Amino acid sequence: MSGYLEGVLVLLAVNVVFAYGGFLPLAAGQLNLGLAGFAAIGAYTSAYLSNVFTLPPLLAIPLAGIAAGAVALVVAVPVLRTRGIYLALATFALGQIVQAIILNLQVVGGAAGYPVTAFIRFPTIAATAAIVVALVWLLFATRFGIAVTAVHDDERVADLMGIDVRAFQIAAFALGSAIAGIGGGLYAHHFSFIEAQYFNISLSITIVLYVLLGGTQTVIGPLLGAAVFTLLPEVLRASANWRYVAFAAALIVIMALRPEGLVTSAQLRRLLGFTRAEPDPAAVAAAVPKERAG
């Protein structure tokens, strides 16, 4: 395929991974405005591992994701004691600090940026993105998904129902950060050059915005959001800056008219209802006679 098309598809795959990094905390009711910082941790750690220790990218990137997740775990305990707007601001401060620290780390180039030697092509990146999506989808098909949504909807009642609210919030936060780190690693090993200036608040905001555009009620939403953000401007042949203008404008309109985003859970249930496992007719029939008459 042409270099240009490959570039677009790689960007799509990376954005999809970033989207799921943003989706995890949002699904638990938290706004992580420091996503770019965790993406940076993933990018720089994987680049350092593959440059200096000559680890293959397919090893360096998951390790970097784990590193990003570990950092998130460490900061999660104090950060998640804050709530709502304070939480968003704490993650914002975190992202800014990470960016500032990297700017000062001469060992990875500092302000001049860091070239990455190893290179991965689109098929690898697409496969990684697909695995991330599949894993998140699987995760949300377990009781984890129900518990996290319960925490998002009503923390107090979730707690009374026996759900460990803090544990799930920390898990969602750390997992999301790890996924963002993997996205950063993928980005680093394809575009061959990373700089701290790229992993700024704009990036965090952009990711959060396209996740919200797609909708956080279902696992499909982030995928759709990333796709719309990446592909629609290509179709419309928009320049880099008009792309952001259009995207921001679209988001403002959508937040006004349909704040749940493009895909909602009710919609999805209706759409997919017929493919879900039908209740066992025998079991239901056996249960029904117990219903009181009238």
Partner 1 sequence: MSASDQILRLEAVSKHFGGLRVIEDLSFAVKRGVRTALIGPNGAGKTTVFNLITGVFPVDAGRILLDGADITDTPSRLRIGYGIARSFQNIRLMPHLSTLENVMVGQHCRNGGVRGVLQPVNLVPHNRWRDAARAALADAGLIEYERATVGNLPYGVQKRIELVRALMAQPRLLLLDEPAAGLNPAETEALQDQLEKICAGGGLTVLVVEHDMHFVGALCEDVIVLDFGRKIAEGSPEDVRHNPLVQEIYLGAPAAEPMERHSARSA
Partner 2 sequence: MLGSIYAMVAVALTLSIGVLRFLNFSIPGLFMIGGMTAWASLRSGMSWPLAIGAALAAGAFASLVVERFTWRWMRSAQHFVPLVSSMAFLLLFEHLAVIYWGSELRTLPVLFPNADWRIAGLVISLPQLGGLVCSIALVWALTLVLARTRLGRGLRTIAEDSDTALLLGVDINRIVPVVFLISGLFAALAGVIFALNYRQVQPFMGEVVGLKGISAMIVGGMGNIWGSIAGGLIIGLVEVMSIGYFGADFVDIAVYGLLLLILFVRPTGLFAADFAGQRA
Name which position in 112, 135, 242, 272 contacts partner 2 (CB under 8 A): 242
DSSP secondary structure string, 77-137? HHHTTS-HHHHHHHHHHHHHHHHHHHHH-GGGTGGG-EE------HHHHHHHHHHHHHHHH
Q: Which does 259 bind (CB under 5 to 8 A by kind): partner 2, partner 1, none?
A: partner 2
Q: Rounded to an integer, what distance in angstroms lies between the CA atom of residue 81 and that of residue 144?
A: 21
Q: Which does 217 bind (CB under 5 to 8 A by kind): partner 1, partner 2, none?
A: partner 1
Nearest by Cα to 128 from 29, 42, 243: 42
User: Is 212 within 8 Å of 222 (Cβ atoms)?
Assistant: no
Q: What angle do CA 152, 155, 156 make, to 5 degrees?
A: 160
What does 128 interact with, of partner 2, partner 1, none (CB < 5 to 8 A by kind)? none
Estimate the share of the chain in helix, then strand, then coil, as percent rounded to the nearest 5: 75, 0, 20
- The pair of structure tokens assigned to 289 is 């006679």
What's the rounded Cα separation, in Å, for the pair 267 and 289? 32
Two structure tokens written together for 231 = 């592909």
Q: Which partner in partner 2, partner 1, none is near 237 (CB below 5 to 8 A by kind)?
A: none
Q: Give me the residues that bind partner 1 (CB under 8 A), please.
A: 138, 140-147, 149-150, 152-154, 156-165, 217, 265-266, 269, 273, 276-277, 279-280, 283-284, 287-288, 290-292
The item of partner 1, partner 2, none sharing an interface with residue 149, based on CB under 5 to 8 Å by kind, is partner 1
Rounded to a whole number of angstroms, the minimum distance from the CB of residue 250 to partner 1 is 24
Among partner 1, partner 2, none, what does residue 3 contact (CB within 5–8 Å per kind)?
A: none
Helix axes 84-104, 35-52, angle to 10 degrees: 30
The verdict on 202 binding partner 2 (CB under 8 A) reads yes
Determine which residue in the list 19, 24, 28, 31 makes contact with partner 2, applying CB under 8 A. Answer: 31
Specify the stretch interacting with partner 2 by CB under 8 A; choose among 142-150, 160-168, 218-226, 234-242: 234-242
**Of 5 and 141, CB closest to partner 1:** 141
Q: Is residue 268 at the binding interface for partner 2, with CB under 8 A as the rule?
A: no
CB of 290 to partner 2, least distance (A): 40
107 binds partner 2 (CB under 8 A): no
**Containing H/E element for 19?**
helix 3-27
Please state the closest distance from residue 283 (CB atom) to partner 2, in A: 38
Q: Which two tokens stand for residue 31?
A: 């706004």
The rounded distance, in Å, linking the Cα atoms of 55 and 14 is: 21
Residues between 56 and 75 with contacts to partner 2, criterion CB under 8 A: none
Residue 114's H or E segment, with its range, is strand 114-115
Note whether 104 binds partner 2 by CB under 8 A.
yes
Rounded distance between C-alpha atoms, residue 211 and residue 133, angstroms: 14
Instruction: State the residues that interact with partner 2 by CB under 8 A.
Output: 31, 78-79, 81-82, 84-86, 88-90, 92-94, 96-97, 99-101, 103-104, 111, 200-202, 205-206, 208-209, 212, 239, 241-242, 244-245, 247-249, 251-252, 255-256, 259
